[in-house]
Amino acid sequence: MTELVQRFYDVLEQAKTALAAVDGEAALEECRVRFLSRKGLLPSLMSELGKVPAEEKPTVGKVLNQVKQELQKAFDDCAEKVRGEETAANALDVTRPGRARDIGHRHPISQVMDMAVAIFRRMGFLVADGPDLEDVWHNFDALNAPQDHPSRTPEDTFYFDLDKRSWLDPETMILRTQTSPVQVRTMKAQSLPVRIICPGRCYRRDTPDATHGMSFHQIEGLYADRHVSLADLKGTLAIFAREMFGSQTKVRFRPHFFPFTEPSVEADASCFICGGKGCRVCKGSGWIEIAGAGMVNPAVFRNVGYDPEETTGFAFGMGVERIAMIRYAINDLRLLYDNDVRFLRQF
């Protein structure tokens, strides 16, 4: 009996020593398995209780219960200590500085759009907005687009409900091909003068390649009042080009045709890479096209309820992606939409 009792006390001391060295939940579990599990040291000793003579069993059993209770208390105390230490380690220390979070930055298209809007706002233009889902009248008819114009065909424009309506029906709904309908809606809603820019997303049935996409962004501008001239248009675009591409940038006009302007022009900026000498970016010409523009066609003023005899104005439109490609010397439009972090981090 004396030997078995001594072995009980030996196990208790070993357990206390092991628990004193416990430094976490994993070590505590190892101790539990070693001493208290089904094959642990204490259950192994309890199995030898059957060999004890009957007259000694009450005494040995009493010692066994004391050892079990003391050992369980030692484990409970150690578990509470471990939980307290882990809670303290994970507790919020309000005196420590906050953790900085990576919040990213604006996409290059957003950067260029914001810069362009800021430039025109400094010249007195207000920002106007309109729906992406537009009707044919606002997108084409009001802007003097002929019904046989190629841009109106279902091959070039996203139409809705063509099984119920003709694509020439003024009420047929489409995804807008330009932000010009915003100009129409603004002119119909207010009297002169109107000085607005219309940034937004547009949609066309283009095959995506290095310079085209089915969804893209435009910034269009309109200034309608009395006695507005082509010189006002050139001065406005010249200021924009100098602020966007550099103070030495020049602007030139080339004759062109758009249904909603008369006369119509293409606006070019001198290449800011080579200074007009000719390089890969400007394809050796020294000039880069930045916008289509012109004096608003009198038919457009008539369609929105303005007197074309009293009203003059200019309009212009430019692709945000094209401005971004020019400003950052990007040679493929698709890079702006691939979401490659290695590319976007450059901006």
pLDDT of residue 67: 75
pLDDT tens-digit map of 103-119: 778 888 999 999 999 99
Residue 1 has pLDDT above 60, yes or no: no
In whole numbers, what is the pLDDT of the chain averaged over residues? 85
Pairing state between β 261-270 and 251-258: antiparallel
> 265 near 255, Cβ under 8 Å?
yes
pLDDT of residue 70: 79
More confident residue, 96 or 239: 239
> 288 near 256, Cβ under 8 Å?
no
Hey, what amino acid is at 339?
Answer: N
Centroid of chain to Cα 279: 34
pLDDT of residue 191: 93
pLDDT of residue 336: 84
Pairing state between β 133-135 and 215-225: unpaired
- Tell me: cis bond preceding 58? Omega within 30 of 0 counts: no
What are the Cα distances from residue 270, in Å, to 1, 252, 279, 322, 331?
106, 8, 11, 15, 18
Rounded Cα gap, residues 338 and 344, in angstroms: 9
pLDDT of residue 329: 79
pLDDT of residue 2: 63
pLDDT tens-digit map of 317-332: 999 988 888 888 787 8
Rounded Cα gap, residues 77 and 28, in angstroms: 11
- The number of residues in the chain equals 347
In 3D space, the residue among 45, 36, 39, 34 whose CA is nearest the CA of residue 5 turns out to be 45
Q: Give just the sign of the alpha carbon dihedral 300, 305, 308, 313.
A: negative
Coil, strand or helix at 291: strand
In 3D space, the residue among 331, 294, 311, 132 whose CA is nearest the CA of residue 228 turns out to be 311
* Segment 167-180 mean pLDDT: 92
pLDDT of residue 210: 67
In 3D space, the residue among 135, 147, 7, 142 whose CA is nearest the CA of residue 64 turns out to be 7
pLDDT of residue 55: 66
* Segment 187-207 mean pLDDT: 93
What does the block give as tokens for 44?
């192994």
* Segment 1-27 mean pLDDT: 74
Name the band, by pLDDT with cuts 50, 70 and 90, for residue 240: very high
Residue 282 has pLDDT above 60, yes or no: yes
Asked: is 108-344 a CATH 3.30.930.10 domain? The reply is yes
Q: What is the pTM of this model?
A: 0.67
Domain ranges of the chain: 2-90, 108-344
Ranges 87-91, 224-228, 284-288: which has the least confidence: 87-91
Coil, strand or helix at 251: strand
pLDDT of residue 126: 96
Distance between first and last Cα of the chain: 83
pLDDT of residue 78: 81
pLDDT tens-digit map of 40-83: 676 776 666 666 676 666 777 777 777 777 778 887 888 888 77
